[in-house]
Amino acid sequence: MSQSSTPKIALVGNPNSGKSSLFNHLTGLNQKIGNFPGVTVDKKTGFCQLNKTTRAEIIDLPGTYSIYPNSTDEKIVFDILGNRSNPLHPDMVVVIVDASNFKRNLLLFTQIRDLNIPVVLALNMMDIVEKTGLSIDAKKLAERLQVPVVPTRARKGTGIDKLKEVLAQVKPNGQVKPIFDARNHCGDAIDEVKRNFNIEEDYVAYQMLQQYSINDSISDRDKLVLGEIAIKYDFKKDDIRRKETLERYAAINHVIDAAVKENFAYLPKEWTKKLDGLFTHKIWGYAIFLFILFLIFQSIFAWATVPMDIIDLTFSELSVALKNVLPAGALTNLLTEGIIPGIGGIVIFIPQIAILFAFISVLEETGYMSRVVFLMDKIMRKFGLNGKSVVPLISGVACAIPAIMATRTIENWKERLITIFVTPFMSCSARLPVYTILIALIIPDEPVLGILNLQGLALMGMYLLGFLAAILSAAAMKLILKTKERSFLVMELPTYKVPRWKNVGMTMFEKSKTFVLEAGKIILAISVVLWVLASYGPGDEMEMAEQRITAQYDVSQLSDVEFGNKVDAYKLEHSYAGIFGKAIEPAIEPLGYDWKIGIAIITSFAAREVFVGTMATIYSIGGVEDEGTIKGRMRNEINPKTGEPRYTFAAGFSLLVFYAFAMQCMSTLAIVYRETKGWKWPILQFTYMTAVAYLSALLVFQVFK
Ligand code: GDP
Ligand code: MG
C-alpha cells in the first residue's frame, strides 16, 4: 500500500487454518499480546517490514467461520471489519484459507471480500492438499476471485516472502462487483441504513439489518432504528440469508470447477451419464441399492467370522493363562474375569466395523453414495430424515457409535437429531450373539423353499424389525419436533472415480480406532462394576457357597467341574447382581422372564453382548463358554410355577423383541451426549427405547403365551 503511515493488516480465517503460524512468521519476535476491549479474547498484534520502505502493523483476529456472529470471537471480527471508525479497522485483510478444507473456508472469504476491504488470499496447507491428490491453480483462483492469491505453508514458512511482496503492492479497492449482491434482495432497506448510519458498503449495511437484534455492540437506539427499517421494507432475515448461502456456494462451486483439479482416474463423462440413468432410476436404482446392501451384509458376516473367532479365542486363552500364572486373589479375578473379557468384548467387533466401513468408504470414494443420498432423499424426508441419513442408518448395523458420528454431514439440525435418535434401533453387531442364541432356542432349524432356512429368515426378520422401529420413530419425531429451519438438499453429483485405496484404509482404521477408544472406555469401566456386583454379595453367603452346595447335594456324585459350576451359580444368585435380579422380577414377570433373565438384562444394560456371558454363568457352565451347552441348559430350564420349559416360544420371542428395541449400550449414550452437547437427548432416548422395548415385549408375551 502506498500510504506513508503504517498500514494495518488483519489476519482472518477459520479456526486452525494457520493464522497464528502465519502471524508468527510475519512478525517474528516483534509482537505483543493484549485483550480486545471489553472482552477476554487474546489480541495479538505485531509489526512486519513488508519491504524496504513499508512497515505494517499485523493483527491476528480470532478464528471465525463466518461474518455472522455466533460467538464472542466472531462478533469481534465483524465489529472490527464492518466498522470503519473502529480504531482496529484494517487497511487490508489477509484471509487465510485452509486449502484442504477449501469449500467451507472459501465461504468466509467471499463474505470478507464483499465488505470491500482490500483482500489477499493466503492459500495455506498446500502440502496437505497435494497429498490428497488434488491440485489448486492459484492463478486461475486469483482470476476468478479477482484478488491476489499466494500459496503458503504457514507451518514451515514457505510463501511468506511472496506474501509480503504482494501486500506491499496492494492498492485501495475501487468498487468491486460483490459475490453476493444484497442490493438485489433488499436494495431500498440497504440505502436507508447507509443514509442513517453513514455507511459506505452495501454488505455492511445488509449485515447491520441481519445482526441488529443479536449484536450487543449495536446501541439500543440504533437497534430501534434498524428494527423500523426492517419492518418498513419487510426485510425477511432468514429468507435472504438462505439465498445468500446458496448464491455464495454457487459462486464457490464455479471457482472450484475452474481452479481445482483432481488427479485421479475418472470415468469418462458419457459413462457417468449412463451410469446415473441406471443408479438413480425409479426402479433399478432401488433394486441395485438393495442388492449392494445384501452383498455387504453377506460379506460382513462371511468374512468377519474367522477373525472374530481368533480374537475370542485369544482373549479367553489369555485369561486362562494369566489365571494360571498370577497368584490367586481378587485382583487376579478382576483382571481375568472383568478386565480382559471386557477388552475382548470390544476388540471382537473390530473386524465387522472395519469391513463395513471399507465398503462404505469405497461407495463414497467411487461417487456411488451420492447417488444413494439423492435417490433416498425423497423417501427419507417423509420420515423426518434426509438422504444423508442413509449412511448412519447403514453403519448402525455394525455399531451405533461410528454411525452417530457419521451424522455430522447432515446440516439440518432437526434431521440430524432425528437420525441420531433412531439410529440405535438398527440391529448392531452386539445384538447378533443374543439373537443367535435365542433364535436357536425357539425357532426350529428347518429349510424353507429349499434354499432358505427358517432360523436365517427369523434373523433377517429381526433386522427388519429394527429398521421399521427406526423409521417409524423418526416419523413420530418429525411430528413432535418443531423447527423453523427448512432443509433442502443442495448437492452436485460427482463424477465416478476409482477409489483411492489409501483413503479406504484410513477410514477403516479411523472408524475402528474411534470405536475402540470411545466404546472401550465405557465398556471397560462397566465390566469392572459388573464384575464387582456379580462377585460380591451381602452377608457371608458368598464364602459359604461351597458348604451350602456340599450340604445340598451328594458331592461324591458330582465331578469337580459340576461342583464348581454349582458353586458359581450359587454365588451369582446371592451376589448383588442376583439380588437386583430378584428385586426386578415382579416387573419382568409379565414379559415371561424370571430373576435369572433379570440378572442378564441388568448386566447387559451396559452392553448387550454381556447377555450371553451372563447366561453362561447363571446356567452354571463355568469358564467354558460353549454356546451349544448354554443352549442345552437354557432349553432344559423349567419354570417352577408351570412345570413347563422356561424358554417357551412366547418368552423367547418376547426377549428377542426386548433386545431389538432396548437402549442397552452405555457407549452409545455417551456418544449421543457428546454429539448433542447435553444430557437431554440421551436421557430421552434411553427412556423412549426402554419403554418401547418393555411394552412390545409385554405385548408379544401376552399374545403368544
Ligand atoms: P489458527 O487457529 O488459525 O491460529 O491456526 P494455527 O496457526 O494455530 O495452526 C493450526 C495447526 O495447523 C497447527 O498445528 C499448525 O502447525 C498447522 N499448520 C499451519 N499451517 C500449516 C501448513 O501449511 N501445513 C500443515 N501441514 N500444517 C499447518
Ligand atoms: Mg490461533
**What pLDDT is stored for residue 635 in this prediction?**
77
- 26 alpha carbon, closest ligand: 1
**What CA–CA distance (Å, rounded) separates 234 from 247?**
21
pTM higher than the cut 0.85: no
Quick one: 354 and 481 in the same domain?
Answer: yes
Indicate whether residue 15 lines ligand 1 (CB < 6 A): yes
3-state secondary structure of 665: strand
Indicate whether residue 105 lines ligand 1 (CB < 6 A): no
Residue-wise pLDDT tens digits, 63-120: 888 888 777 777 889 889 988 888 899 999 999 999 888 888 899 999 999 999 999 9
Among 21, 23, 98, which is best to mutate for testing ligand 1, by the most ligand atoms less than 8 A from CB?
A: 21
Quick one: 104 and 228 in the same domain?
Answer: no
- Which residue's alpha carbon is nearest to atom 2 within ligand 1? 16
Model confidence band, residue 632 (pLDDT cutoffs 50, 70, 90): confident
Across the range 402-420, mean pLDDT stands at 86
Residue-wise pLDDT tens digits, 532-566: 888 888 878 777 878 888 888 777 777 777 777 77
Of the ranges 264-273, 584-593, 615-624, 661-670, which one carries the lowest mean pLDDT score?
A: 615-624
Report CA(155)–ligand 1 centroid distance (Å). 6
Last residue of a domain, one of 169, 193, 215: 169
Quick one: 109 and 214 in the same domain?
Answer: no
Query: In this structure, is residue 374 part of a structural domain?
Result: yes
Quick one: 631 and 692 in the same domain?
Answer: yes
Model confidence band, residue 133 (pLDDT cutoffs 50, 70, 90): low
Model confidence band, residue 229 (pLDDT cutoffs 50, 70, 90): very high
> Do residues 153 and 125 make contact, with C-beta atoms less than 8 angstroms apart?
yes
Quick one: 207 and 246 in the same domain?
Answer: yes
Report CA(17)–ligand 2 centroid distance (Å). 8
- Which residue's alpha carbon is nearest to atom 25 within ligand 1? 125
What proportion of the chain, given as a percentage, has pLDDT over 90?
Answer: 32
Quick one: 242 and 285 in the same domain?
Answer: no
**What pLDDT is stored for residue 37 in this prediction?**
67
pLDDT above 70 (res 413): yes
**What pLDDT is stored for residue 488 in this prediction?**
58
Atom of ligand 1 nearest to the CA of 24: 7
Last residue of a domain, one of 205, 231, 262: 262
Query: In this structure, is residue 2 part of a structural domain?
Result: no
Query: In this structure, is residue 566 part of a structural domain?
Result: no
pLDDT above 50 (res 514): yes
> Do residues 472 and 422 make contact, with C-beta atoms less than 8 angstroms apart?
no
Indicate whether residue 101 lines ligand 1 (CB < 6 A): no
Indicate whether residue 124 lines ligand 1 (CB < 6 A): yes
Residue 258 identity: A
Q: Residue 529: which domain range?
A: 264-536+575-705
Report CA(336)–ligand 2 centroid distance (Å). 47
**What pLDDT is stored for residue 486 in this prediction?**
58
Report CA(2)–ligand 1 centroid distance (Å). 31
Query: In this structure, is residue 56 part of a structural domain?
Result: yes
Atom of ligand 1 nearest to the CA of 17: 3
Across the range 648-675, mean pLDDT stands at 90
Domains held by the chain: number: 3
Indicate whether residue 44 lines ligand 1 (CB < 6 A): no
Model confidence band, residue 330 (pLDDT cutoffs 50, 70, 90): confident
Q: Cα dihedral sign for 16, 19, 20, 24?
A: positive
Indicate whether residue 97 lines ligand 1 (CB < 6 A): no
Q: Rounded to 10 degrees, what is the CA torsion of 695, 696, 699, 702?
A: -100
Quick one: 150 and 140 in the same domain?
Answer: yes
Query: In this structure, is residue 450 part of a structural domain?
Result: yes
Indicate whether residue 13 lines ligand 1 (CB < 6 A): yes
Across the range 259-263, mean pLDDT stands at 77
Quick one: 581 and 681 in the same domain?
Answer: yes
* Mean of the per-residue pLDDT values of the chain: 85
More confident position, 475 or 640: 475
Last residue of a domain, one of 232, 262, 292: 262
Residue 34 identity: G
Residue-wise pLDDT tens digits, 427-477: 988 888 888 888 888 888 777 777 777 888 888 899 999 999 999 999 999
Across the range 680-700, mean pLDDT stands at 96
More confident position, 574 or 33: 574
What proportion of the chain, given as a percentage, has pLDDT over 70?
Answer: 93
Indicate whether residue 154 lines ligand 1 (CB < 6 A): yes
**What pLDDT is stored for residue 622 in this prediction?**
43
Quick one: 105 and 14 in the same domain?
Answer: yes
Quick one: 387 and 470 in the same domain?
Answer: yes
**What pLDDT is stored for residue 111 in this prediction?**
94
Atom of ligand 1 nearest to the CA of 23: 7
**What pLDDT is stored for residue 38 in this prediction?**
64
Indicate whether residue 21 lines ligand 1 (CB < 6 A): yes
> How large is the angle between the packed helices 560-574 and 541-552, nearest 10 degrees?
130
pLDDT above 60 (res 625): no
Of the ranges 133-137, 165-169, 261-265, 621-625, which one carries the lowest mean pLDDT score?
A: 621-625
Model confidence band, residue 489 (pLDDT cutoffs 50, 70, 90): low
Query: In this structure, is residue 315 part of a structural domain?
Result: yes
Model confidence band, residue 628 (pLDDT cutoffs 50, 70, 90): very low
Across the range 419-428, mean pLDDT stands at 94
Indicate whether residue 71 lines ligand 1 (CB < 6 A): no
**What pLDDT is stored for residue 151 in this prediction?**
94
Phi, psi of 150 (to 5 degrees): -125, 115
Residue-wise pLDDT tens digits, 348-366: 888 888 888 899 889 988 8
Model confidence band, residue 2 (pLDDT cutoffs 50, 70, 90): very low
Model confidence band, residue 161 (pLDDT cutoffs 50, 70, 90): very high
Query: In this structure, is residue 373 part of a structural domain?
Result: yes
Report CA(42)–ligand 2 centroid distance (Å). 9
> Do residues 622 and 563 make contact, with C-beta atoms less than 8 angstroms apart?
no
CA angle 686, 691, 696 (to 5 degrees): 130
**What CA–CA distance (Å, rounded) separates 465 from 460?**
9
Q: Which of 113, 117, 132 is nearest to 7 (CA)?
A: 117
Query: In this structure, is residue 1 part of a structural domain?
Result: no
Atom of ligand 1 nearest to the CA of 128: 26
pLDDT above 60 (res 4): no
Quick one: 387 and 239 in the same domain?
Answer: no
Quick one: 117 and 223 in the same domain?
Answer: no
Residue 418 identity: I
Indicate whether residue 127 lines ligand 1 (CB < 6 A): yes
Q: Helix (H) and strand (E) counts for the chain?
A: 31, 11
Domain of 132, CATH number, reads 3.40.50.300
Residue 381 identity: R
